[in-house]
Structure 1
Amino acid sequence: MIHGSVNSGYGHNFEKAFTKDMEGLEESGHHRVIRYYMGDFNCVVRFEVDAYYDDGN
């Protein structure tokens, strides 16, 4: 696991300023795991999704 320094990034402030929770999902977490191949490397990546954009289409 890679951890940034104490002063790296915006923490949750960016997320709080530019996103809003959908009703009923205020306490939910959305984690994903993807697998892909890059040459001879077999990569598995776990990440948390903070927001999505719905353009109405």
Structure 2
Amino acid sequence: MADAGVPLHHLRKIAGHGSLTTTQRYLHPDHESITAAGHLLSTHLNAGPDRARLRVV
């Protein structure tokens, strides 16, 4: 479900875990997912000062 984009805090509730740390123990991203995330972040940060804003979610 994490690979499908379900937010971690939702996964925590679905799994019945009391903390995000417990849920994170079960997540094992593959190399391809980590690389793709890095590319997304680079694209975002290189979008220019008007678009490259980090937001709190």
Shorter chain as denominator, the TM-score bin is under 0.3
TM-score w.r.t. length of structure 2: 0.24
Greater RCO between the two (CA within 8 Å, min separation 6)?
1
Q: Which has the larger radius of gyration?
A: 1
Say which structure is richer in strand: 1
TM normalised by structure 1 equals 0.24
